[in-house]
Amino acid sequence: MRYDVIVIGARCAGAPLARFLARGGARVLLCDAADMPSDQPMSTHFIQPYGMRILDELGLGERVLAVAPSVDRFVFGCEDSLAHIEFPAGQGGSCPRRVDLDPILVDGAREAGAEVRLRCRLLDLLRDGERVTGAVVDDRGTHRSFHADVVVGADGRHSTVAELTGAAEYLGYDGPRAVYWAYYPRPAWYADDPRYRGASFILFTGDELRAVFPTNRDLLLLGIAFPGEQAAPWRADPAARMRERLAAHPLTAPLAEGAAPRGKVLGMLKGRYFFRQACGPGWALVGDAGLFKDPSPGLGISDALRDARSLSRALLAGGEAALDAYWRQRDVDSLELFCFAHDLGALDYNNPLNRLVFAKVAERPDLCERIRGMVERTISPFDVFSAGQVVGWTLGALLRGRFGVLRPFFAAGKRTAAVKKELASRQALARTALVRVP
C-alpha cells in the first residue's frame, strides 16, 4: 500500500500535519504507538493565542475551547514586579489537558481523510539506497510495511525517525532545572479574586520558577522548576515537597490550601534541548522530534502547530528543495524563541537587571503592550525593549547605588549580540534554500 506521506506520531504536531495534508489532497497515513484518548503528561498544555489562530485555520479551535475556555490574562515577572498582559475576551490562549486535546486533533485528521492507525509503532524505515521509501510498523501485533514518498517523524523528543535517519543535533544543551507539577481543583473564586482574575502565571521567586495554568474547566496546573541539584528531596517524596513549596509563596499557597492534587505529582529531572536536522532524502521531522525547547515559556504546542502548517505546504509543493526550505525557515522562525526559552530556564534569570526591567514594565502599560507583542509573535523577545531604554534604566540604577545590575547588563548585551549573529547565519541559509525551490 502506498501513500504520499506517512506521519509517525499523532499528537500536537503529527495530527495537525495530517489534517493540513489531507485537506490539500494528499493521501496520508497517520500512526501512533499509543491509543486515544491517552495522556501526554510531559507537556505544559499551554497553547498561546498564536497557536489558537492556527487551530482556527484547521477548524478545530472551537472544539478546543469547549474543553478549555480561553485564558485571556497572562502575568509574567520576577518577585513582586509583574507584567499583566490582557487579550480581548475569548481571544487569549487555552490550556487543555492532552488527554482531551490530542483526540480532538486525531479526529480532525481522520475527518479530513487521513487514514489513522493507533497502537501502531514504528519498527524500521524502508529504503532505496539512502532514500527513505516507507515504514515498517507493528500494527496491533502484526508487522506491516507501508510505502510513501515521505515519512515524517512527529514522534517527540526521543524520535525513532530521528534515530533511524541519524538526524544531526545542533545548538543542543542540557537544561539546569528540574520541574515538578500536578493538577489541583480550581477554586470557584479563581476567576473573580483580584489576585488571580483567571490568569495564567509564570513567576520567578528566588531560584524557583512557579507556573499556574488554568486547564480544562475545573483544574489548575501548578508547577515549580528549581535547580537540578536540589532534586533529592523531590525524588524522595514529590507530594510532600510539592505541598511545602506551594505553601511557601503567597501566589500558590491559597490555591493548594486544603486541596489534594488529582492524580500523581509528575516530574522531569533532566531536560535536553536542541535543534535537529529537519529533513533528508524521503524524510522530515516536525514538532519536538526536530526542535525541543525549554518548557518555561510554554511555546511548544504553538510552535508544533506552526511547523506542521509550514511542513504541509512544503510537502504539498513537493520536492527536496521545498523540504530544505521548510527546515531552514523553521530555524529562522525558532531561533530567538529557542534562545529566549534557554534564558528563562537559566538559574540566574531572576537577577537584578530583570527585576529592574519588570519593575519598569509594571509601571508602564505601553511596555506591557510590547510584551503582548512578543506573545503574539509580532516582536522578537530580544527586541521588546530598545537598547537605549535598557541603558537608561541601568544607568539610573547605578546612580542609586544598585551595582548588581551591571554584570547581568553586560551578559545580556553579549547574549543578544550572539543570538542576532546566529540568526543572521540562519537567515542566510534560508534565503539560499528558498532560491532553490522551483
Question: Tell me: the pLDDT tens digits for 143-199?
Answer: 999 999 999 999 999 999 999 999 999 999 999 999 999 999 999 999 999 999 999
- Tell me the backbone φ, ψ of residue 182, rounded to 5 degrees: -155, 165
Cα–Cα distances (Å) from 176 to 220, 225, 259, 338, in that order, read: 25, 10, 30, 15
Say how far apart CA 48 and CA 378 lie, in whole Å.
13
> Cell triple for residue 276?
535537529
Do residues 408 and 352 make contact, with C-beta atoms less than 8 angstroms apart?
A: yes
Say how far apart CA 151 and CA 5 lie, in whole Å.
6
Report the largest interatomic distance among the alpha carbons of the chain, rounded to a whole angstrom: 73
pLDDT of residue 123: 98
- Tell me the backbone φ, ψ of residue 305, rounded to 5 degrees: -65, -45
Say how far apart CA 69 and CA 71 lie, in whole Å.
7
- Tell me the backbone φ, ψ of residue 67, rounded to 5 degrees: -90, -45
Catalogue all structural domains in the chain, each as residue range(s) with its CATH number.
2-68+94-174+271-332 (3.50.50.60), 177-268 (3.30.9.100), 343-435 (no CATH)
Say how far apart CA 357 and CA 363 lie, in whole Å.
10
Question: Tell me: the pLDDT tens digits for 355-396?
Answer: 999 999 998 989 999 999 999 999 999 999 999 999 999 999
Other CB atoms within 10 Å distance of the CB of residue 128: 11
Mean pLDDT in order along the chain per 10 residues (438 residues): 95 98 98 92 89 98 96 95 92 94 97 98 98 98 97 97 98 97 96 96 96 93 96 96 96 95 93 97 98 94 98 97 98 98 97 96 91 94 94 96 96 97 98 94
Could you tell me where the beta strands, DSSP code E, fall in 36-195? 73-78, 81-86, 115-118, 120-128, 131-139, 142-153, 169-174, 177-185
pLDDT of residue 369: 92
Could you tell me the sign of the dihedral formed by the alpha carbons of 332, 423, 301, 132, in that order?
Answer: positive
Do residues 316 and 284 make contact, with C-beta atoms less than 8 angstroms apart?
A: no
- Tell me the backbone φ, ψ of residue 183, rounded to 5 degrees: -100, 130
Say how far apart CA 185 and CA 221 lie, in whole Å.
9
pLDDT of residue 166: 98
Do residues 210 and 196 make contact, with C-beta atoms less than 8 angstroms apart?
A: no
Do residues 202 and 211 make contact, with C-beta atoms less than 8 angstroms apart?
A: yes
pTM across the whole model? 0.96
pLDDT of residue 39: 84
> Which residues are within 8 A (CB) of 209 and not within 5 positions of it... i.e. 6 or more apart?
177, 179, 202, 203, 224, 225, 226, 296, 344, 349
pLDDT of residue 43: 84
> Cell triple for residue 417?
549580540
